[in-house]
Amino acid sequence: MNDEKYWNPKENEELCGILIEKLPNKGKYHSNLYKLKCDGEIVNVWGKKQLDALMRVVNIGDKIILKYVGNMEFDDYYMKRFELEILNE
């Protein structure tokens, strides 16, 4: 049985945790997968184009807050938008 938890956020939902792993080329769409330790459990976050760009500056061990702010419309498609805050001192 697969007990892994995946973040499926609703608009304006936040996730706070420590980045413990970045895994490239995962799943059937060959996406990035980010593993965060949040309140003692591991939460998996699938990469998206804009999220991957934000996560480039995050290092393993950094404490972060990810916020899903909703979809942004482009010419003929929608893209999920995220905000990132790094909490390290």
Number of domains composing the chain: 1
| 46-65: average pLDDT | 96
CATH code, domain with 74? 2.40.50.140
| 34-47: average pLDDT | 97
Q: What share of the chain is helix, strand, coil (3-state, %, to 5)?
A: 10, 55, 35
> CA 52 to CA 75: how far, in whole Å?
21
Please, what sign has the CA dihedral across residues 65, 66, 70, 75?
positive
Which amino acid would we find at residue 38? Answer: C
Give a three-class secondary structure readout of 9-41.
CCCCCEEEEEEEEEEEEECCCCEEEEEEEECCE
Domain range for 33: 5-86
Q: According to the model, what pLDDT value does residue 2 have?
A: 60
- Between 43 and 74, where is the model more confident? 43
Tokens of 85: 């805050």
| 7-28: average pLDDT | 96
| 29-37: average pLDDT | 96
Q: State the pTM of this model.
A: 0.89
